[in-house]
Amino acid sequence: MDHLPEPQLGADLFLLHAPSVFDFRERDDMLFAYLSDSDSVNVTSVYEIYPIGWFSIKQRLADNGFDTKIVNVASLMLMHPELDVKKLISRFEAPIFGFDLHWMAHCQGSVELAALVKEVHPEALTIFGGISATYYAEQLIQYPSVDVVVQGYDTLDPVTELVTRVRQGRRDFRSIPNLLYKTDGEVQTTGFSHTPEKNYNNVRNDWSYYRDVTDAGPEGSKLIMTLPNTGCAHDCGWCGGSRFAYRNIMGVRRTLIQKDNDLVVEELRTMSEAAKRTSIYALQCYSENRTRMHQYLDAVKELGYKSVHFEQFSLTSPDILKKMGESTDSYIMLSPESHDLRISKAAGRGNYTMEQMEEWIPRALDAGVKGIMIWYFIGMPYQDRQSVMDTIAYSERLIRKFGGWGALPLICPMVPFLDPGSQFFEEPEKHGYTIHHRTLEEHRRAMVEPLWHRRLNYSTNWLDRRQLQDVSYEAISRLVEIKGEYGVLPAGFCKAVLRTIDETRTLLGEMERALELDKKLPADLRDQIRDYNRKVLSYTNDQIMPVPRPLGGRWFDDATVPPELIQDVLVSSAAPSQVRGA
């Protein structure tokens, strides 16, 4: 009897997003602890969100006649614990596989996933790109699983030319700018000359694939992101996308480059009627001028988007507030980092006082803004334990004054890493920091440390790594208690969060004691770790509404691999101990 052919998936380029730790499903020697991913966005500690710039690469290649498929391997591994990743990769047919190393959280998983691709498809080309890939290009290219590193904040032209040549059967990349690549094991470089100051990312991202995706949250609600510019005009010392970092990593003087606003509006139109049940997280709109913001808000209103969350660096001006209030259900995300102006300024913010913010909040709400979220950060210069807890006390004042949801305070630790390339990373002593991991390999090893405070690549003169971990749990616990006391969050939510924090701290303590006494984790503790990891990685959560959400339906969850192919690569017949292996 003839066997049916195994389902395959073909492309000119696969873009594969790896989990932070590639074999996370097998790990019983490290804790994916609650809050170790800051819990500030709707992702797990596996960091299953990929950079939105992949849409631009996909569209540019489509415009040139090439098929690019984005596969979120991290998301698939979370949603299908029995997924055989090697078998899945074997069903992909392409001459090139691309990997994002944009955020350092993926430094372990991305290199390991590339190694698996090289094992399964030895003739295929593996390419890396992103901010972190650019920063560590010379170290990254040394890994056997890495064939090409594409440097820069705009890789559209180099990647298009590279795909064109590979599809023509050519592997001579000497005239393509911004590449490090290997020829017979020797590393070649083509220089770093492609640094455009206009027409950056000038393609329309296409969200049409997401219109009919199901399981997208309550009542089919969807969330997309827009990114109208790249780089930054500001200089927050902890940020790898700051003006300082871009000048040093990307070798440019002009560090804020705006996308054609007409393309941003066209992008919004691709959701069509689904816009009415879609929210937007508007990234980096704090760098948009008045004219561009008005055009954006007019499009949001015309297309009927359900709501928009706007990142704002300063206190938004009255005319923009009015426009926000008229366009949709608008929310503003402020991030002063600390209630203390000295700390706020040292962090790169500090352009308004808390008194000025308190005077501005009623004006924003009166203009029709639905709510303001005020983010504070743990791990800043001059910030000791008392300062963090003073921020929590100030947060209680905000909740008492504005009722909670009108002005909602939130706090998170800077984890797992201080961005390489940022001012604090490059000039640590000057700003009161100590760097514990500096090379790419040191960061990769840190990602699999059992205890998350050891993963941190920094400490400060005011808080060591263990203190950063402890004060994070202390501060967030107290803030959750306050929100319960004032009725901002239901008591049941608060009790559940506090139970999870207690369980996490207890388990971390037991692990630390075992490692100190015996230098290893006993079998019964490993069982607890495995059970804990499986539990916290079975749902997503965030601080704004700390309720477990089922996986799936987010814009970055995989929508590429057909269900029948997924079913065909599940290890359904494996023994329980094998099921979670990759």
CB contact at 8 A, 558 and 2? no
pLDDT number for residue 40: 58
Cβ atoms 260, 267 nearer than 8 A: no
In the chain, the number of structural domains is 2
Residues 216, 182 share a domain: no
- 330 bridge partner residues: 308
Please, what is the average pLDDT of the chain?
93
Q: Which of 221, 433, 429, 410 is nearest to 332 (CA)?
A: 410
Instruction: Encode pLDDT of 532-557 as tens digits.
Output: 999 999 888 777 777 777 888 889 99
Peptide bond into 413 cis (omega under 30): no
Residue 434 CA from chain centroid, whole number: 24
Q: pLDDT tens digit string along 408-466?
A: 999 999 999 999 999 999 999 999 999 999 999 999 999 999 999 999 999 999 999 99
Distant-in-sequence, close-in-space partners of 4: CB < 8 Å, separation ≥ 6: none
CB-based burial, 544-580: b 16+ in 10 Å, e otherwise: bebeeeebbbbbbbbebbeeebbeebbbeeeeeeebb
Residue 344's alpha-carbon distances to 283, 348, 409, 559, in angstroms, are 21, 7, 15, 40
pLDDT bin (cut points 50, 70, 90) of residue 7 is confident
For the stretch 500-540, pLDDT in tens is: 999 999 999 999 999 999 999 999 999 999 999 999 998 88
- The answer to the question of residue 32 being in a domain is yes
**CA–CA separation, 512 and 531 (whole Å):** 18
Q: Which residues pair with 96 in a beta bridge?
A: 13, 125
> Is the pTM above the cut of 0.85?
yes
**Residue 37: C-alpha distances to residues 22, 47, 230, 463, 476 (Å):** 16, 8, 24, 19, 13
Same-domain check for residues 505 and 563: no
- Give the range among 119-128, 157-166, 249-258 with minimum mean pLDDT: 249-258
- Tell me, yes or no, whether 548 lies in a domain: no
Domain range spanning residue 517? 208-538
Do 440 and 574 lie in one domain? The reply is no
The answer on pLDDT for 18 being more than 90 is yes
pLDDT, position 550: 80
Mean pLDDT within 549-575: 85
187 and 222 both lie in a single domain:
no
- Pick the more confident residue, 202 or 434: 434
Confidence of residue 575 (pLDDT cuts 50, 70, 90): very low
* 294-317 burial: b if 16+ Cβ within 10 Å, else e: eebbebbeebebbbbbbbbbebbe
Rounded distance between C-alpha atoms, residue 157 and residue 356, angstroms: 45
Answer yes or no: is 545 within a domain: no
- For residues 258 and 163, membership in a common domain is answered with no
pLDDT value of residue 215: 60
In this structure, what CATH number is given to the domain that contains residue 37?
A: 3.40.50.2300
Residue with tokens 């000359």: 193
> How far apart are alpha carbons 479 and 300 in whole angstroms?
34
Note whether 191 and 212 are same-domain residues.
Answer: no
pLDDT band at residue 221 using 50, 70 and 90 as cut-offs: confident
Q: What is the mean pLDDT of residues 7-14?
A: 94
**Mean pLDDT value of segment 94-103:** 97
Quick: pLDDT tens for 356-398. 999 999 999 999 999 999 999 999 999 999 999 999 999 999 9
100 close to 89: Cβ distance less than 8 angstroms? no
Domain-located, residue 87: yes
Burial string for 491-523 (b: 16+ CB within 10 Å, else e) reads eebbebbbebbebbbebbebbeebbeeeeebee
Q: Are 151 and 251 in contact (CB under 8 A)?
A: no
Amino acid of residue 460: T
Residues 6+ apart with CB under 8 A from 418: 238, 379, 424, 425, 433, 435, 456, 457, 458
Buried b (16+ CB within 10 A) or exposed e, 32-59: bbbbbbbbbebbbbbbbbbbbbbbbbbb
Q: What CATH number is attached to the domain comprising 254?
A: 3.20.20
**Measured distance CA(525)–CA(368) in Å, rounded:** 52
Q: Is the pLDDT of residue 98 over 50?
A: yes
Q: What is the dihedral of CA 270, 273, 277, 281, to 10 degrees?
A: 20
Looking at the fold, whether 374 and 480 belong to one and the same domain comes out as yes
In a domain, residue 1? The reply is no
Are residues 129 and 171 both part of a single domain? yes
Flag whether pLDDT at 578 surpasses 50: no
* Domain assignment of residue 246, yes or no: yes
For residues 489 and 310, what is the distance between their CA atoms, to the nearest angstrom? 23
Same domain, yes or no: 567 and 495: no
Q: Is 557:209 a contact under the CB 8 Å cutoff?
A: no
**What pLDDT is stored for residue 197 in this prediction?**
79
pLDDT tier at 219 (50, 70, 90 boundaries)?
low
CA distance 431 to 347: 10
Are 439 and 561 in the same domain? no
**157-169: burial string, b at 16+ Cβ within 10 Å, e else:** bbbbbbbbebeee
- Based on the fold, state whether residues 360 and 449 are members of the same structural domain: yes
pLDDT of 579 over the 80 cut: no
The Cα-based distances of 504 to 21, 208, 278, 493 in angstroms read 19, 40, 34, 17
The pLDDT assigned to 381 comes to 98
With H, G, I as helix, E, B as strand and everything else as coil, classify residue 145.
coil
% of the chain beyond a pLDDT of 90: 83
Q: What is the pLDDT of residue 216?
A: 52
Grouping H, G, I as helix, E, B as strand and the rest as coil, residue 103 is: coil
Region 209-221 average pLDDT: 71
Q: Does 19 share its domain with 85?
A: yes
Residue 141 lies in a domain: yes
Q: CA 134, CA 50: separation in Å to the nearest integer?
A: 16
Q: For residue 266, list its beta bridge partners.
A: none
Query: How far lies 349's CA from each of 42, 174, 239, 334, 345, in Å?
Result: 25, 43, 12, 10, 5
With CA atoms as reference, report the closest residue to 227 among 246, 200, 251. 200
Which of 405, 313, 384, 380 lies closest to 352, judged by CA? 313
Q: How far, in Å, CA of 365 to CA of 40, rounded? A: 23
Supply the pLDDT for residue 1: 47
Residue 201 is assigned to a structural domain of this protein: no
Model confidence pLDDT, tens digit, residues 284-340: 999 999 999 999 999 999 999 999 999 999 999 999 999 999 999 999 999 999 999
